[in-house]
Structure 1
């Protein structure tokens, strides 16, 4: 048994549809054949078993007493075939319901009529598939508290498989947005491929049987209490970061804490509603409220964990800035000595960063970002301390954008998600400066989406459009 909300039984949907339909048809045919046996026997006495022999001495013996036994035999013969037919119908209906429930937010892979419609359908498919995967990832820790690792392994595999399909879809979309392929027919096929990948990502995610509401609710309440304790110290952490690294860092960190507290307030309300519904025996309503509470708790956890990660990266960056600055100046000097063209404005950037070091609190990650970008075109910029600095900045920027999209996904569109996926690919391919730039663009795009649409009710009260 699992938490109220884990999806993830991996399977190939098309093959299983055929198997289910075949099972239903076989059951129906077998039941129909069984049902027909008594009728055929009544219509064709030659094929029926011979009646028992009687003597001539009693030719006029009444047949009436045997009639009830015949009626009873016919009724008994009908019961099992009817049950088989009913079971086959129930199994077919169950398969259909499981199929429709399994991926409610995935767009149909059927192509749209016009290029504009196909473009819109692809965007919607990317958002919905990404939401489904993120919702499953949110549910996994709650399931882990109620399942052993062996039982949980198929669901982890399903999420990894869906994440792989989604990553491929985002890669296709990124190329499409950059104008590749150029042929109109090939571009339409690319959109069909994107939509199909997203549909496959949704198909491999499944929801196993739910646990009892009581144990699942106890797990969620325990997670809430642990996060509430952490949140109490998060405000002081944000305040200390503000004093040490300046107002820009302090504002970002304080914003994280505020949103986390909002999520925990929402979780409190949802947990209370779930407990009340469970006490009244309204399990369906209790599960809905519990799912919303789990989502709010998971998002608060993302924000608080991200705060700790950013604080650690800021400390690492502050220790690295002086060495990176010295290394960058050495790279510029070596470039001039060999006649290599120096990027325009590189000297001014390094001078401004060096001035920041003595001017008071500053954002060390921003300083490293400026240093690495200023020298990105020089061959020696990917060596030693500068490479370490670029990787640190890329991971910090990608993590910040990832957290924002995860928490505000109800308002974030396909462009921000695609840029974030491209940043992850660049980071994995050891292109940290490019990854950092893409992650910053993803965060800016996501923030624009939130400003344009506002924080949706589902963000504050539920799974954020995941289901």
Structure 2
């Protein structure tokens, strides 16, 4: 009998190990497939510019189909991490489906890209593109001093933790632009030598580096605008929270309501006084979570009809806050794609999905809806807060991935490379730059 139970235990342990392996494979497949979609989208834009829409129609249709099925994969991964407990069988089936969808997506894109590769290689106007890269490098380099000045100015107003997401953008953009110039030179030399495939890959690296540099510099300007919006939104949410506390006093004093009121009062009390450098994003997140917690506690303590209808302006504030959180998270993930894992990408994809659902619920883009009926306000606010919460989680997870991948000491883009091949301990920033590129063998000589 003891042998029977020992065998059952061993089988259970083996199944648990297999499930853990499958879960990790599903996450890796999500990251690879999502990055492949992004790279293919860039390739499609380039091919359309060179060949026209008709020649690239098959690839365009394949990419649309892949995006649709990848959205299902992200939603399955979100279900794996929501608050509803899952059985081992449910997790196993979802992870297997995620792997299946991602493998299918990559196989389909491989097939369609392969059919176009020869035509694209013949049609590319490499000299014009290289000239465009160099012109973009010159234009973007002129923006770097202004970006540095902006960051210095922001440092006098905002706390270091608020600036953490953009404080290194100017330096990283400068490195990316240097890498773009170098890659453009490699592309010229390889093309002159008749090595067309490697020349094209090097040129892709150059154009991608320029695009990323522009994204990082744009993010500095966006941060300044979004920080001001966050401060304005914070004032509105403070007023909303105080109103909620006044309402909550007359609600049934259940333990959940009392605890939620205490948390919201603590969040309000933690707001810094005037003249102190602040982190409006963190303050908004804490206040928003506390506000949402109080709403949930009140909802559980009274009948739906007894709850007040949210004022229209509060609904608009919630939607504005959701859009701001979504924009910031999207900028950070787009600017550091090679470093971002499956969890942050999943939260962002789920936030984008809920945001689209909000537009559908209102029957028009939420940002353009000036009047929201009383029957729709509460649901609209709940969905907007859900978007903001998911986007905030995506940003936190993305920042964690960036911090874990960032080099520990000062280094330049060329510090870990040289000669004619790869070196151990390559620069992590260049790993991030190349994370989304299919460079292949060109890495063996790209730094010649």
Q: TM-score, normalised by structure 1?
A: 0.65
Q: Quote the Cα distance in structure 1 between the aligned partners of 2:279 and 2:85.
A: 41
Q: Verify: 1:198 aligned to 2:114, yes or no.
A: no
Structure label with greater radius of gyration:
1
Q: State the alpha-carbon separation in 2 of the partners of residues 381 and 251 from structure 1.
A: 38
User: How many angstroms does 1:131 deviate by?
Assistant: 1.2
Cα offset for 1:321? 3.2
Query: C-alpha offsets along residues 30-79 of structure 1, whole Å, 9 cap, x if unaligned?
Result: xxxxxxxxxxxxxxxxxxxxxxxxxxxxxxxxxxxxxxxxxxxxxxxxxx
Counterpart selection for 1:260 from 173, 192, 215: 173
TM-superposed CA distance for 1:171, in Å, is: 1.1
Mapped partners of 1:366, 1:182: distance in 2: 31
Deviation of the 1:130 alpha carbon = 0.9
Distance verdict in 2 for CA 1:116–1:143, change over 3 Å: same
* 1:349 is the counterpart of 2:259: no
- Once residues 291 and 202 of structure 1 are traced to their aligned partners in structure 2, the CA distance between those partners, rounded to angstroms, is 19
SS at match of 2:50: coil
Specify the alignment match of 1:374 in structure 2.
Answer: 290
Q: Structure 1 residues 319 and 414, CA, compared in 2 at 3 Å: closer, same or farther? A: closer
Aligned partner of 1:283 among 196, 204, 208:
196
Equivalent position of 1:93 in the other structure: none
1:328 and 1:177 mapped to 2: Cα distance? 29
Greater shift in the superposed pair: 123-132 or 176-185: 176-185
Moved more, 160-169 or 402-411: 402-411
User: 2:356 is matched with which residue?
Assistant: 428
Deviation at 1:128, TM superposition (A): 1.2
Name the structure 2 match of 1:463: 436
Tell me how far apart the structure 1 counterparts of residues 221 and 63 of structure 2 sit (CA, whole Å): 26
Between the aligned partners of 1:322 and 1:120, the Cα distance in structure 2 is 42
In 1, the alpha carbon distance for the partners of 2:309 and 2:238 equals: 12
Give the distance between the partners of 2:19 and 2:164, measured in 1 at CA. Answer: 43
1:230-245 paired onto structure 2 within 5 Å: 230=140, 231-232=143-144, 233-245=146-158
C-alpha contact (below 8 Å) 2:47/2:120 kept by paired residues: no
Distance 1:367 1:178, change over 3 A: closer
Are 1:215 and 2:125 counterparts? yes
State the superposition RMSD in angstroms: 3.4
1:35 corresponds to: none
Matched, 1:119 2:27: no
Alignment of 1:290-439 (within 5 A): 290-338=203-251, 341=257, 343-353=261-271, 355-356=272-273, 358-376=274-292, 377-378=294-295, 383-430=311-358, 431-439=383-391
Secondary structure at the residue paired with 2:261? coil
Residues 137 and 180 of structure 2 are in contact (CA less than 8 Å); yes or no, is this contact kept in structure 1? no
Which stretches in structure 2 are left out of the alignment for 5+ residues?
1-16, 296-306, 359-382, 407-427, 441-448
Pair 150,224 (structure 1): closer, same or farther in 2 beyond 3 Å: farther
Contact 2:50/2:123 (CA < 8 Å) preserved in 1?
no
Given the two structures, how large is their TM-score scaled by the length of structure 2? 0.68
Q: Deviations over 1:137-182 (max 9, x none)?
A: 3334444543545656654443332222111111112223459784
User: Are the structure 2 counterparts of residues 369 and 450 from structure 1 closer, same or farther at C-alpha, using a change threshold of 3 Å?
Assistant: closer
Q: Which residue of 1 aligns with 2:379?
A: none
